[in-house]
Amino acid sequence: MDNEYQRKINNSIEHLFKSESNNYIFIYTPPKVGSTTLVSSLRISLGKSYNIIHIHDEVMLSVLTGIHGINVNDIIKHLASIGKHVYVIDVYRTPIERKISEFFEKISPYHFNNTEENINHYSIKRVSERFNKLFSHIENNDHYFDKYNIENPIPFDYDNKYTIQVLNKIKYIKLRLCDSYMWSSILSKIFQSDIVLITDYQTSTKKIGQFYNVFKKDYRLPSNFFEEIKTCKYFNFYYNEVERRKYLDTWKNKLCEPFVSYTNDEFKFYMQICLENQYINDLQIEHYIDNGCFCKFCSLKRKDIFFKAKKGENNFEKIIHTDVINEVNEERNKKIYEIIKSTKNNKKFTNNQFSIHLK
C-alpha cells in the first residue's frame, strides 16, 4: 500500500468516525435489507462506546468522505491491523421482497418521475408492469459473498439465527431480516450490552406506504421469475429446506403468466432517460433517527430514547443536533420567563437563586 493511498485511508477514517473509542461497527450491506434500523438501534444503545458507520458501496463512501478511489474493505482491514476491534454486519432479505422495496425506494424520482401523492393513484397493473420490466435488473447481490472477499463463508446457523466468522481479527456477522424480531437479543449477546431495537426508515411509513402495502398484497409474480428464485444461491444458502418450501409455497399461490424483462441494453437506456428527466431530488438528509452527534444534549436525548424503547415505546423524533439545541433553548427561555414572573412578587430573588433555577 503506497503512502498516498494510506493517507487517503487515514483521512477517510477521520471523516467517518467521531468517537475516540477503539470499537468499530460497519453496517456494510446492500440497500433495503433493514440496515437503517440496525444503525439507529446500535447508535441509541451503544452511544460513544462504538464508532458506527452505515455503508453500501464505494460510491456511498466517496459521498460521505469526499475522497475518491478508496475501497471499504481496505479501511476495515487497516483498523483491524492497528489493533481496533472491528465488526462488519450484513443482512439477508428474501429476493422478491427486497426487489419490491428497492423499486419503491426510487419509484418517485426515477421510475415514474412523479410525486408519491400522484403515484398513489396509479393502478396496480401499471406499476406491476414497470416493476416486471426491471425485475431482472434490480440487484439481488449479497455482500457477505460478493464484497467481503471471504473465500469460504461458514454455513448459516439456522438455530441461533446469526453467524459470526472471524478473519484477520475482523468479526463478520450475518443476520436475516426475517429474524429481526430477535435482533435485540442477538445483538445484546454479541456486543455484551443491552441493545434496544429502534425500527427506522420503513417504506410502509412513507407517503407511498399505503400503496406499497397494497402492491405487496396484490402483486402477482411471473412464473419465470419464480423459477429464478428457486435456484438463487443466496436464497438456498440462508434458508434451510423447510424455510425455502414455506416461502416458495407462499408465492406459488400468487403466480401469473411469464414476463420478459428489459434486455441489458434496454435497461441502460431506461436508466439514462430516468436520470436525464429526473426533477425530484432523491438526496436523503438526516436519514436516521440517530444521526450520530455526541454533544451533551444529543447524548441526553439518545439516553431518553433508549429508556423509552425499553418501556416498549416505538415512535421517536429524530436526534438532529440543531433541533435538539432549539428544544433546549426553548425550555431554557420558558424557565427564564417563569423566573421573571416570580420575581415580580419577590423582589429579594437573588442572582444566585436565578442561576440555580436555570440549571
Q: How far apart are CA 321 and CA 290, in angstroms?
A: 10
Asked, for residue 310, whether it belongs to a domain, the answer is: no
Residues 345 and 226 in one domain: no
Determine which of 49-53, 97-101, 285-289 has the lowest per-residue pLDDT on average. Answer: 285-289
Q: How many domains are contained in the chain? A: 2
* Concatenated DSSP letters of 182-205: GHHHHHHHHHTS---------GGG
At residue 95 the predicted structure's pLDDT band, cuts being 50, 70 and 90, is very high
Out of 256, 277, 298, a domain closes at 277
> How many CB atoms neighbour CB 288 within 10 A?
21
The pair phi, psi for residue 20, each rounded to 5°, is -90, 5
Between CA 98 and CA 193 the distance in angstroms is: 30
Domain shared by 272 and 328, yes or no: no
Q: Which segment of 49-63, 74-88, 183-197 scores lowest on mean pLDDT?
A: 49-63
d(CA 247, CA 212): 20
Residue 286 has pLDDT above 60, yes or no: no
Same structural domain, 335 and 233: no
The three cell numbers of residue 98 are 427486497
Looking at residue 218, its pLDDT comes to 96
Residues 331 and 216 in one domain: no
Name the grid cell of 75: 479501511
Q: Which three cell numbers stand for residue 272?
A: 439514462
pLDDT of 125 over the 80 cut:
yes
DSSP state of 263: P
Domain match, 116 and 257 both:
yes
Average pLDDT, the chain: 89
Is it the case that residue 244 has pLDDT exceeding 80?
yes
pLDDT of 17 above 60 = yes
Are 113 and 276 in contact by the 8 Å Cβ rule? The answer is no
Q: Is the pLDDT of residue 75 over 70?
A: yes
Residue 204 has pLDDT above 80, yes or no: no
* pLDDT range class, residue 284, cuts 50, 70, 90: low
Interstrand relation of 163-167 and 170-176 (parallel, antiparallel or unpaired): antiparallel
Domain co-membership, 142 together with 89: yes
**Domain carrying residue 213:** 3-277
What percent of the chain shows pLDDT beyond 90? 69
Q: Are residues 148 and 211 both part of a single domain?
A: yes
pLDDT band at residue 261 under the 50/70/90 scheme: very high
The reply to whether 349 falls in a domain is: yes
Asked if residue 298 belongs to a domain, the reply is no
